[in-house]
C-alpha cells in the first residue's frame, strides 16, 4: 500500500518544460509513475515526452484527473505554485525547491492543512513507493525495491546511501520519504511515523535524522507513549559536529540543548529505539527488527 503515493497517484508537473522538470519527468515515468500533465503559463498545447502541457493546474486537473503535484519551480515561486495546486483540488503536493522563504513555507503548510492536503517538502528529493512503481521526486530509481521498511529522512544523499545498502542486502522498502532539510516541512517525522503505523506494508520504520530541530525527539516520545508500536530504527548524522554548527541543511541548527545529538540519542534510548552509528549498522539493525517482527 505505502504512504502518501501509490498506484492511484496521477501527477501534474509544475514547471515541466524546464530542464529539471523535463529531466525528472522522464525518470519518474521510467519508474512507472503516472505523469498525466504538466503546466507552464502560456505553454498550453505543447507536449513534453508525450505529456500534455496546460496553462494552469486547474485546467490540468479538469482534463486529466491529476491528484498530485510536483513543483520544479524557483524558490520564490513555490508559494504561488503550491497555492495554485491546492486551489485546483490537488490533494498531495511535493515542494522540491530549497531556500523557500520560511514565511512562505508557513503559509503553504497552513493552507495545506486547512484543505486536507498532504505536503512533502520543501527542500526534498521527494517520495517513492516501490511496490506501486510510483515515484514523485528525483531519488535514483535503481536503489529502491519493494519491501516492508518505511524510511523517512531529512537528508536526500544519506537516504540514497543507506537505502542502497538495504537493497544490496535484499531488504526492500514500503515507502521512502524525504521529509525535507528545512526547519519547517509539511510532513515531519512524527506525521510520517503515524502514517507508517497505519500502513499494512510497513513492518519496520527507519528514520534518518541529523542534529537540529526536535523531529527525532518527537518520534521517540510517540514510541515511548505507545502511539507507535512497530519497531523503529534510527540513524543520526552529525555525531562529531561542534555545538551550534549548521550542517548544510537549514534545519540542522542546534539551539541550546534542543536538537543536540545528545538529546536525540537520549530520547531514542529512553524509548528503546536502537540508533545505528554507521550506515552498515543500519542494515543489521533493520534486519534484526524485521526478523523479530515475524
249 has catalytic annotation: yes
Q: Give CA separation, 109 vs 4, 93, 121, 125, 198, in Å.
A: 16, 10, 10, 18, 22
**R_g (Cα) of the chain, nearest Å:** 19
Closest CA to 4 of 107, 98, 132, 183: 132
Distance separating alpha carbons of residues 180 and 191, to the nearest angstrom: 13
Contacts of 77 (CB under 8 A, 6+ apart): none
Distance separating alpha carbons of residues 261 and 270, to the nearest angstrom: 14
Cα Dmax for the chain? 58
Closest CA to 18 of 54, 42, 48: 48
Q: How many CB atoms lie within 10 A of CB 200?
A: 9
Q: Are 53 and 77 in contact (CB under 8 A)?
A: no
Q: Which of 24, 99, 249, 292 is catalytic?
A: 249
Residue with cell 501534474: 12
Residue with cell 500533465: 37
Q: Are 51 and 35 in contact (CB under 8 A)?
A: yes
- DSSP secondary-structure letter at 228? -
Closest CA to 209 of 272, 257, 255, 277: 277
Distance separating alpha carbons of residues 208 and 151, to the nearest angstrom: 8
Q: Provide the annotated active-site residues.
A: 249
Amino acid at each position: 500500500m505505502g504512504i502518501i503515493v501509490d498506484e492511484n497517484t496521477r501527477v501534474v508537473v509544475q514547471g515541466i518544460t524546464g530542464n529539471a522538470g523535463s529531466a525528472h519527468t522522464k525518470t519518474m515515468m521510467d519508474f512507472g509513475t503516472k505523469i498525466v500533465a504538466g503546466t507552464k503559463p502560456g505553454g498550453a498545447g505543447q507536449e513534453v515526452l508525450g505529456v500534455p502541457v496546460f496553462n494552469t493546474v486547474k485546467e490540468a486537473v479538469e482534463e486529466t484527473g491529476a491528484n498530485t503535484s510536483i513543483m520544479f519551480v524557483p524558490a520564490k515561486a513555490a508559494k504561488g505554485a503550491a497555492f495554485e495546486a491546492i486551489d485546483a483540488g490537488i490533494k498531495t503536493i511535493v515542494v522540491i525547491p530549497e531556500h523557500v522563504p520560511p514565511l512562505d513555507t508557513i503559509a503553504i503548510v497552513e493552507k495545506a492543512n486547512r484543505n486536507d492536503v498532504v505536503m512533502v517538502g520543501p527542500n526534498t528529493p521527494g517520495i517513492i513507493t516501490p511496490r506501486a512503481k510510483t515515484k514523485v521526486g528525483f531519488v535514483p530509481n535503481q536503489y529502491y525495491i519493494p519491501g516492508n521498511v518505511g524510511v523517512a529522512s531529512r537528508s536526500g544523499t544519506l537516504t540514497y546511501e543507506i537505502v542502497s545498502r538495504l537493497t544490496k542486502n535484499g531488504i526492500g522498502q514500503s515507502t521512502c520519504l524525504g521529509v525535507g532539510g528545512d526547519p519547517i516541512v509539511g510532513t515531519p517525522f512524527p506525521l510520517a511515523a503515524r502514517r507508517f503505523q497505519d500502513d499494512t506494508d510497513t513492518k519496520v520504520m527507519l528514520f534518518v535524522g541529523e542534529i537540529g530541530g526536535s523531529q527525532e525527539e518527537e518520534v521517540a516520545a510517540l514510541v515511548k507513549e505507545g502511539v507507535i508500536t512497530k519497531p523503529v530504527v534510527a540513524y543520526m548524522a552529525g555525531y562529531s559536529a561542534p555545538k551550534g554548527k549548521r550542517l548544510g541543511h537549514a534545519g540542522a541548527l542546534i539551539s541550546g540543548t534542543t536538537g543536540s545529538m545528545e538529546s536525540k540519542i537520549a530520547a531514542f534510548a529512553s524509548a528503546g529505539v536502537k540508533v545505528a552509528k554507521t550506515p552498515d549498522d543500519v542494515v543489521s539493525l533493520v534486519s534484526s527488527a524485521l526478523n523479530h517482527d515475524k
